[in-house]
Amino acid sequence: MFRYASALDKFMIFIACICSFIVGLMQPLTIVVLGLFLKKLQNSKDDDASILDVTLGMILNFVYIGIAALVVSYTSNALWVLSGENQARRIRQMYVHAILRQDMAWFDKAGDGSLNTRLAVDTQMIQDGISEKFGLLVSAIAQFVIGFIVAFAVGWKLAIIMLATMPLMGGVGGLMGYYTTRYTLKSQTAYAEAGSIAEQVFSGIRTVYAFSLQNRFSDLYNIKLKNAKEIGVRRGIIFGVGMGVFMFLLFATYGLAFWYGAKLVMSGEMIGPMVMVVFFAMIMGAMALLQLPPNFAAITTASGAAYKIFETIERIPDIDADSIEGIQPPKIVGDIEFKDVQFTYPTRPDVPILKCLNLKIRSGQTVAFVGPSGSGKSTSVQLLQRFYDPINGQVLLDGHNLKSYNVAWLRTQIGVVSQEPVLFNMTIGQNLTMGANKEVSKEEMVEACKKANCHSFISELPQGYNTLVGEHGGMLSGGQKQRIAIARAILKNPSILLLDEATSALDTQSERLVQKALDAATANRTTIVIAHRLSTIRNADLIVVMKQGDLIEQGTHNELLALGGIYSELVSKQQIATTQVGTTDEDIDEELLLKQETLALKKDQEAQNEMGTFLEKTKSTALSRISTNISIDAYELKLRNEKANKKAVMKQSAPVRRVVDMMRPEWHLLALGVCGSALSGAVFPCFALVFSRTISTLTFDGNIAPGPFQGANLYAFLFVVIGVGAFFGFAGQNVFFELAGERFTERFRGMIFRSMIRQEIGFYDNPENSLGALTSRLAIDSKNVNEMVTKTWGDVAQIIVTAITGLAIAFSQTWTLTLIICCMTPFIMGATAYESKIHRGFEDKTKKANEQSGEVAGEAIKEIRTVAALNKQSYFEDKYFKATERPHKLAQRKALTSSIGYGLQQAITQFTYAVAFYAGIRLMVDNKIDFLQMFTATLTIMLTSQEVGRASVFTATFAKAKFSAISALEILDRVPAIDPELEGIEPASSQVSGDISFENITFRYPARPDISIFNGEFNLKGKAGQTIALVGPSGCGKSTTIGMLQRWYDPVSGTVRFDDTNVKNYSLGNLRGHMALVGQEPVLFDMTIGENIRFGVDDSKPITQVMVEDACRAANIHTFISGLPLGYDTRVGDKGSQLSGGQKQRIAIARALIRKPRLLLLDEATSALDSESEKLVQAAIDNILEEGGRTTITIAHRLSTIQGADLICVVKDGRVAEQGTHWELLKLNGAYSALVHQQSLNSN
């Protein structure tokens, strides 16, 4: 584990080991000093001068030990943390470097999620194992060894008797630890399953609402919570009873030890002080033994984590982008040849992707690949980039095998624009420079953007090229991202350009602008294009048709049409029926399109600022200096905002009474738990009382054991009595609070989830209510609130009783000495609180700082194909290294500051002993108290102060719980703007016809209140049974109409009617029950196919397998499902990952059909599919439309899919600009006609 330690780290580890060993000696040494003091005191014969001399020597020993403890404790802790942090940072950096150099086959097997987890979690495990935990292990071993050596050296007979009980205690502790760990893991798994359900619901909330699935998912969530509760209850009982038994055995061992010790004293084999030395040395050795397993477990866990990480660090990939080997010719011509290429993906070696591909591409040609998904089109592109190598055959570039080229150099010669262009969370300017192989001037950047038709909209932005694009480019539209990606590729000036589905998901206007940019970009370079929309590649020099890994046809557009084969069939399916259209491409007002684009982006930018993004309002122009650290500044601003919000919340008072009222069903358990806490709180002061009397009796009382229940025998029996009390106290405290906590957590977490899925969609649009934020609040808030009442109540009760009992005992013995010792306890508690506070403060800051560096690495890992294609691994490595500087410096400061508290804790305890014994002896000499009173007061206050010192931990727990309680209750108290539980009219399906209308609609999204989608001029009427198609540019409000019909949102003004009744008058469940939705990205849940389809029907209605199969037949998916080994019981995977896009879409259609809706809503149901999948899905939709009997609203960019609609509405500028049938709108020769012409395959 220490293989990556530097020479300095190794030196620090060596010194830290020595210091840790000395720390382990301190407690046994303290006991020896105390024993020798008592021995000398016993022999002093009441001579005051002799007593003071002995005392002074003992006090100096305590001071020396205290000073030594301060130095070695501080040094060991600081050096372990410093060396561990240095190594961990180095390991993280090497791991990120190693990850980014790996080939894609490795990533396919590893998965980016597990890599991010290893980087975040496993490296922290390694750090834990090579820093403080290792030091604690060394100290524990030293304390164990020295403790037992001292015990056997001083009194081996007594040591053996005590040793006899250790296996029993160890067995109980081991069993308790084993079962607690086992049930904790089970509990975490159960809560993870509940969290998975919540995550699915939040990520697919529109689908959940559309099909009124709130109650079903709430029930499923509660079932998982119930499982977790039952596991937690078992864990609580085992831990509570185990702790009770352990404490009983501990005190019973004390009784046995002193009973036998008394016998040895009576026989003259030992003296009283030495009995105490053996007793404490053995107890300390045993306690050290108990510290070994958790620290050793941390080290073995670290070792296991290190194995995987070090394996990656030392792995040399087959395709190594870090290698300097390979040829790097001064220029590439651009001739490409696939020669007998066979390929299978490493994760699916039995599925051939390319069977024997032979194809030649001449320099400067534009070659288009078409064909269904899985035919090998994108694979060919990835082979060219050397993401993979062929199993057999060769890919040649300018006559040389690709394997002979330097990998990094090769990728600098290739530009890529994909279907989902990846922009990184930085400025537009920074994203553009990512494509360049050299430094570029501002003028070159602007020129590339002009070629890509994106300079105009960038210039209109307030921040120009310094505009932050957001996570995944989320602040930009699809078309804008595509054009920036094209500009990035142009800046690269590649010899080869690869365009993989660069326009498939765009609306017609965006596609038009992007296509012009692509036409400019492909000039004078070899270009390979993959496309589903055949209108975009009809002018290619060569069109290659692929199917199931084989090249089926090749030729020009006209040649392949004349051939009358597969390509010709695909063209006919995408053809739009048209009369002679009176416009040409040149007639389309390009400036108008750009103007609309710019206006839309300006609105998006306003929304970006409104939603609290990271941008400051400046007067920067398009040519402003491009900031290299704006993404980090943005992250810092986000952290400051979070901190400010947290401070505002913390000013509020804790809603303890409200939470207590909510726990009313658990009051009886809480009362029993408080009783147990009170009993356990009295245990250690009572122990101090009995122990001091035992030592006094053994040391100074000649009549040690006159009878069975007198003297030492009585005290031995009282230890057993205390053990019985400890059993009931600790068992009761842990069991009853755990039972109450688990029951409350189940109920409270279910209430929060239910409240969350009751909110309107606008709630989820708020960035503060992101998927991650909501799932975290569910998991953390309920746990913290539970601790507010359960753990906090238990701690408070225990601390109060300990303080009262301890002070009562001490003051009953000697108020003078008690007050003196009490003056020292604030220092002990202060040192504990200081260390705890420093740890908490730095942990929070370090966690946030590590999140920042983790986001940098996570983004690079997630988008590794883009990073590799751009050859920017070193850029992200440097960015990650810089991002780790802050957490590294914070950890260094933590090591130096928190170690002060740790050292002071050890030292002040020794100094307190010195003060207590000096003051006590002085009072003894003055005959104000006797030894018993001194020893009882000192021991009682010391044990009491250690218990009360835990209050600093309690305050931290309470602070977290308060913040979580306020946050959780805000959710529970929030009244949704659109409440699904409000009553309304509920007509039966037979009473609903399906008329819809929008009247004078004004609409703004709640998250963007300053941006109007409709300004009171949107009007639309649809009759029952009609198919109504909505077309228009992105952002014009097409999908908004579906949102208002479903009452995801309500209009600001105007009326949305369903069957001539305002939709607000319906109960939400009934309104949505008459509708069914199929979206562009179908949401399937991680269940079986059959369960997903059954979600289409209300759970109160009967549903048969025949009904499910009929719906699937209508959706053209029954044959496919029947062919699966498990048929309808096949799980679809997370987000339907086990199915293709077309299969998911058809299952979504079946789910909609089984609902038998009066209104069917189709939102871009085929836009992202390949031609083959689109054909099957469109056939299913056509079946639905021909069946009739329902109103259908369909939104589509591919106009070929909606030309048969009864009513086509062109939405533009917040209103319906044109409406009519396909033929009527063509005759108008307006906006719709222009859109048709742009998509027509017959257009030149």
**Side by side, which strands form the sheet with 1012-1022?**
1012-1022, 996-1004, 1053-1058, 1061-1062
Residue 437 has pLDDT above 90, yes or no: no
pLDDT digits (tens, 9 = 90+) for 114-145: 677 678 778 888 888 888 889 989 999 999 99
Pick from 415, 399, 394, 416: nearest CA to 327: 399
pLDDT digits (tens, 9 = 90+) for 443-498: 999 988 888 888 888 888 888 898 888 767 767 767 788 889 888 988 888 889 99
Maximum separation of any 2 CA atoms in the chain, in Å: 126
d(CA 668, CA 662): 13
- For residue 631, the model assigns a pLDDT of 40
Residue 1236 has pLDDT above 90, yes or no: no
How many CA atoms, within 13 angstroms, populate the side-chain half-sphere of residue 1190? Answer: 23
Comma-separated ranges of CATH 1.20.1560.10 domains in the chain: 7-314+666-973
Confidence of residue 70 (pLDDT cuts 50, 70, 90): very high
Confidence of residue 295 (pLDDT cuts 50, 70, 90): confident
**How do beta strands 392-397 and 336-344 pair?**
antiparallel
Name which of 153-157, 769-773, 798-802 the model is least confident about.
769-773
- For residue 602, the model assigns a pLDDT of 41
Asked if residue 1048 lies in contact with residue 1074, where contact means CB atoms within 8 angstroms, the answer is: no
d(CA 1000, CA 1046): 18
Backbone angles phi, psi at 898, to 5 degrees: -65, -25
pLDDT digits (tens, 9 = 90+) for 259-279: 898 888 888 888 888 888 998
pLDDT digits (tens, 9 = 90+) for 531-569: 877 877 888 999 999 988 899 999 999 999 999 888 888
Residue 401 has pLDDT above 60, yes or no: yes
59-80 as b/e, with b when 16 or more CB fall inside 10 Å?
A: bebbbebbebbbebbbbbbbbb
- For residue 1241, the model assigns a pLDDT of 58
Range among 940-949, 984-993, 1014-1023 rated most confident: 1014-1023
Which residue would you say has higher pLDDT here, 239 or 1164? 239
Which residue would you say has higher pLDDT here, 836 or 334? 334
Residue 347 has pLDDT above 90, yes or no: no
State mean pLDDT over 580-600: 38
The rounded mean pLDDT for the chain is: 82
User: Going by CATH, does the domain composed of 982-1074+1158-1182+1194-1219 fall within 3.30.70.1050?
Assistant: no
State mean pLDDT over 344-357: 84
- For residue 504, the model assigns a pLDDT of 62
Asked if residue 1056 lies in contact with residue 1045, where contact means CB atoms within 8 angstroms, the answer is: yes
State mean pLDDT over 153-159: 92
Which residue would you say has higher pLDDT here, 726 or 921? 726
Which residue would you say has higher pLDDT here, 388 or 770? 388
State mean pLDDT over 752-757: 93
State mean pLDDT over 1030-1044: 86
Residue 616 has pLDDT above 50, yes or no: no
- For residue 404, the model assigns a pLDDT of 94
Residue 841 has pLDDT above 60, yes or no: no
Residue 236 has pLDDT above 80, yes or no: yes
Residues 6 or more apart whose CB falls under 8 angstroms from that of 1181 comprise 1149, 1162, 1165, 1166, 1194, 1201
pLDDT digits (tens, 9 = 90+) for 914-961: 888 889 888 888 888 888 888 899 889 888 877 776 665 566 667 667
Asked if residue 716 lies in contact with residue 723, where contact means CB atoms within 8 angstroms, the answer is: no
pLDDT digits (tens, 9 = 90+) for 644-659: 555 555 555 667 778 8
Confidence of residue 794 (pLDDT cuts 50, 70, 90): confident
- For residue 845, the model assigns a pLDDT of 61
CATH number (3.40.50.2000, 3.20.20.210, 3.40.50.300, 3.40.190.10) of 1084-1156 reads: 3.40.50.300
Which residue would you say has higher pLDDT here, 942 or 248? 248
Map tokens 């703004």 to a residue. 1004
- Altogether, the residues listed in the chain come to a count of 1244
- For residue 851, the model assigns a pLDDT of 62
Asked if residue 221 lies in contact with residue 154, where contact means CB atoms within 8 angstroms, the answer is: no
Amino acid occupying residue 468: L
Comma-separated ranges of CATH 3.40.50.300 domains in the chain: 333-405+538-575, 414-537, 982-1074+1158-1182+1194-1219, 1084-1156
> Exposed (0-12), middle (13-18) or buried (19+): which is 392, by Cβ within 10 Å?
exposed
Residue 239 has pLDDT above 50, yes or no: yes
pLDDT digits (tens, 9 = 90+) for 351-396: 788 999 999 999 989 999 988 766 888 889 999 999 999 999 999 9
Tokens representing 230 are: 């039952």
Residue 998 has pLDDT above 50, yes or no: yes
CATH class of segment(s) 414-537: alpha beta
Asked if residue 1111 lies in contact with residue 1153, where contact means CB atoms within 8 angstroms, the answer is: yes
Which residue would you say has higher pLDDT here, 326 or 1142? 326
> Exposed (0-12), middle (13-18) or buried (19+): which is 184, by Cβ within 10 Å?
middle
Q: What angle do CA 882, 884, 885 make, to 5 degrees?
A: 70
Confidence of residue 238 (pLDDT cuts 50, 70, 90): very high
Asked if residue 425 lies in contact with residue 631, where contact means CB atoms within 8 angstroms, the answer is: yes
- For residue 1173, the model assigns a pLDDT of 64
- For residue 1066, the model assigns a pLDDT of 93
Name which of 624-628, 667-671, 812-816, 1146-1150 the model is least confident about.
624-628
State mean pLDDT over 582-592: 36
Name which of 21-30, 385-394, 606-615, 758-767 the model is least confident about.
606-615
- For residue 50, the model assigns a pLDDT of 75
- For residue 606, the model assigns a pLDDT of 39
- Which contacts qualify for 768-776: CB closer than 8 Å, 24 or more apart? 771/199, 771/202, 771/203, 774/198, 774/202, 775/195, 775/198, 775/199, 775/202
d(CA 197, CA 1085): 9
**How do beta strands 996-1004 and 1053-1058 pair?**
antiparallel
State mean pLDDT over 17-23: 94
Amino acid occupying residue 653: S
Amino acid occupying residue 93: Q
Asked if residue 281 lies in contact with residue 31, where contact means CB atoms within 8 angstroms, the answer is: yes
CATH class of segment(s) 333-405+538-575: alpha beta
pLDDT digits (tens, 9 = 90+) for 1084-1129: 998 999 999 999 998 878 889 999 999 998 888 898 899 888 899 9
Architecture of the domain whose range is 7-314+666-973: Up-down Bundle (1.20)
